[in-house]
Amino acid sequence: MTIFTTERVARLLPRVREIVLEEIIPLESAYLHGSFRTLEPQLNALRKRVKAEGLWTPHLPTSEGGLGLTLTEFGMISEALGHSPLGHYVFNCQAPDIGNMELLHQFATDAQKHTFLEPLIRGDIRSCFAMTEPEFAGSNPVNMATTAVREGDEYVINGHKWFTSSADGSAFAVTMAVTNPAEAPHKRASMIIVPTATPGFHLVRNIKIMGDEGDSYASHAEVRFENCRVPVVNLLVKEGAGFALAQHRLGPGRIHHCMRFIGICERAFDMMCKYAVSRELGNGKPLASKQIIQSWIAESRAEIEAARYMVLHTADGIDKHGAQVMKESISTIKFFVANVLQHVLDRAIQTHGALGITDDTVLAYWYRHERAARIYDGPDEVHKTVLARTILKQYGYDVESA
């Protein structure tokens, strides 16, 4: 989108797209029919080449070895990487590591940066983020039972988490735990860095996602903390700052996710169009001759363009004015783009027929794993409620006091 494109992005994008198309996408079949762990040697070799080209950790400032991109610029890179489920990993800007990198870059002590951030930036280790608990609705994250009780120079952590994405093989977990139970709900919890090798940190299982258990980076874990002791110096910022830190993590994170969604949509759209043109129904007529297919193509094109503009407009606003000013827009893109993603994937699968539900293409993989886009980072319904309440207040109606 030219109104948001900078000279720097215009220079970087062709090479990023080339790597995705020629180096990363050819690895997908081995991943879909095998496992992430068996593919890691090839992925790591490719990561070294990306690093050597100076395209590593594009989201970080140049002082940290990144490209110093604005959020808007990185969003455009994120879309290009989103064309493959392996794209962000190869460039070391994959979730949840990207969120943890940005969090530690802004708020960690020098000692914490040396121990945890620097090897994460180098790609020597991975990390995870432990917040959601199976016993409580994730839509209201102030409800959590995991506690971190201070005993001398240590916190003793006990609790139960799940959807701790990428915990399998990670080196540490940024963990949300209640440290101040007597405080107001949003000041009860803290963020503490927990090395996963600490006694008492237990990875219970990788959770199957629509039948796909996953492994290594490509997994979602259930974990338990049982008298897990970590030093007090692993606390991020101060006690009670957990939710404030989470908000710092979420604003840019939604831009990352939404632009990745758009990258998925563009790849699915391209696959849909190519298959519609090449698949013959009989009498020399391709699938593309059917009006319903043409309608799906037109609707998908319009929805993707609208989604991209909305996300880049929001990213540009965050760059210029901060996330707080753009909070309604952040809520809007979250539910809007997640639904566009689902619509486009569904049309692409339907166009491919039986082939679309197999792992012979990447469509079924995305359908399994990206259905959660309407759930994580706050379910759609919560974001719609937040937006509607803000709008209604402008008309003199306060939902909370009604």
307: closest CA among 271, 350, 269? Answer: 269
Could you tell me if 103 and 245 are in contact, meaning their C-beta atoms sit under 8 angstroms apart? yes
Residue 86: inside a domain, yes or no?
yes
Indicate if 250 and 132 belong to the same structural domain. Answer: no
Indicate if 277 and 395 belong to the same structural domain. Answer: yes
Last residue of a domain, one of 71, 102, 122: 122
Which residue is listed with tokens 């783009």?
337
Indicate if 191 and 261 belong to the same structural domain. Answer: no
The verdict on whether omega for the bond into residue 96 sits within 30 degrees of 0, i.e. cis, is: yes
Could you give the CA distance from residue 331 to residue 390 in angstroms, rounded to a whole number?
11
Which residue is listed with tokens 């990390």?
127
Last residue of a domain, one of 235, 256, 290: 235
Residue 2: inside a domain, yes or no?
no
Indicate if 67 and 84 belong to the same structural domain. Answer: yes
pLDDT at 160 (0 to 100): 98
Residue 193: inside a domain, yes or no?
yes
Indicate if 320 and 300 belong to the same structural domain. Answer: yes
Of 148-157, 251-260, 302-311, 339-348, the one with minimum mean pLDDT is 251-260
Residue 223: inside a domain, yes or no?
yes
pLDDT at 351 over 60: yes
Could you tell me if 240 and 316 are in contact, meaning their C-beta atoms sit under 8 angstroms apart? no
Last residue of a domain, one of 92, 122, 152: 122
Give the pTM.
0.95
DSSP per position, 251-304: HHHHHHHHHHHHHHHHHHHHHHHHHHHH-EEETTEEGGGSHHHHHHHHHHHHHH
User: What confidence category does residue 1 fall into, taking pLDDT thresholds of 50, 70 and 90?
Assistant: low
Indicate if 158 and 33 belong to the same structural domain. Answer: no
Could you give the CA distance from residue 344 to residue 353 in angstroms, rounded to a whole number?
14
DSSP per position, 156-198: EEEEEEEEEET-TT-SEEEEEEES-TTS-GGGSEEEEEEETTS
User: What confidence category does residue 3 fall into, taking pLDDT thresholds of 50, 70 and 90?
Assistant: confident
- Domain span holding position 364: 243-401
Residue 1: inside a domain, yes or no?
no
Q: 177 forms bridges with which residues in the sheet?
A: 190
The verdict on whether omega for the bond into residue 379 sits within 30 degrees of 0, i.e. cis, is: no
Q: Tell me the three state secondary structure of residue 221.
A: strand
Residues ≥6 apart with Cβ < 8 Å to 383: 331, 332, 334, 335
Residue 46: inside a domain, yes or no?
yes
Indicate if 299 and 352 belong to the same structural domain. Answer: yes
Indicate if 165 and 287 belong to the same structural domain. Answer: no
62: closest CA among 20, 9, 121, 22? Answer: 121
CATH of the domain at 368: 1.20.140.10
The total number of structural domains that make up the chain: 3
pLDDT at 298 over 90: yes
Could you tell me if 346 and 306 are in contact, meaning their C-beta atoms sit under 8 angstroms apart? no
Q: What is the pLDDT of residues 49-58, one digit of tens each?
A: 999 999 999 9
Indicate if 73 and 37 belong to the same structural domain. Answer: yes
Could you tell me if 315 and 71 are in contact, meaning their C-beta atoms sit under 8 angstroms apart? yes
pLDDT at 170 over 90: yes
